[in-house]
Amino acid sequence: MSVGGAALRWTGLALLVLAPTAQAVAPPTPADVARCEVWARELSFAQSVADHDAAAFAAHLHPLAVFGVTRPNPQRGEREILDAWAGLIAGRETRLWWYPEHVHAGGDASIVSSSGPALYQDVASGQYRLGRFSSVWQRGEDGTWRVVFDDGLAPRPVEAAQVEAFHAGRVNACPPA
């Protein structure tokens, strides 16, 4: 019996030693991957405006995109959007920065929404206003994410502390869902 008992203790010990000490991490789902791809793409889109790069901005647009979707006369299509955004991209009168705060994939993960704060600065006065944006992204057949719909809340004047909080709130790495 002691031999059999020792074998059982050894088997129990071996199982204890071989048992994992931490839970296994599940691989990312297609929605997780899409969400993080759009997180990075949204940052790149914002950087195109910060860099005053109209070509990079255009590369983020779906050819049939609609901007200002909640307004009576939205901008439709790449050309109309580029014309309407030319001043913002150039930063002549207003500078604009934004970053994602919430990004969610839906359906088959080929459509993702993003939203977050948007900071505007009047070039002449230096005054800041803070608004919000909301975008819908679609993965193209080439695998590239492009904005299909975009809109936002009208910006309101803010104090210096709110401007600092905006800059401090930017997260570059896609956070876990």
3: pLDDT strictly greater than 50: no
14: pLDDT strictly greater than 90: no
Asked if residue 68 is part of any domain, the answer here is yes
Q: What percentage of the chain reaches a pLDDT higher than 70? A: 87
Helical H segments across 91-141, by residue range: none
Q: What is the mean pLDDT of the chain?
A: 89
> Which domain, by its residues, includes 40?
30-169
What does the pLDDT average to over 122-135? 97
Asked if residues 68 and 149 have their Cβ atoms less than 8 Å apart, the reply is: no
Bridge partners (DSSP) listed for residue 129: 120, 157
Backbone angles phi, psi at 59, to 5 degrees: -65, -15
Asked if residue 54 is part of any domain, the answer here is yes
CATH of the domain at 94: 3.10.450.50
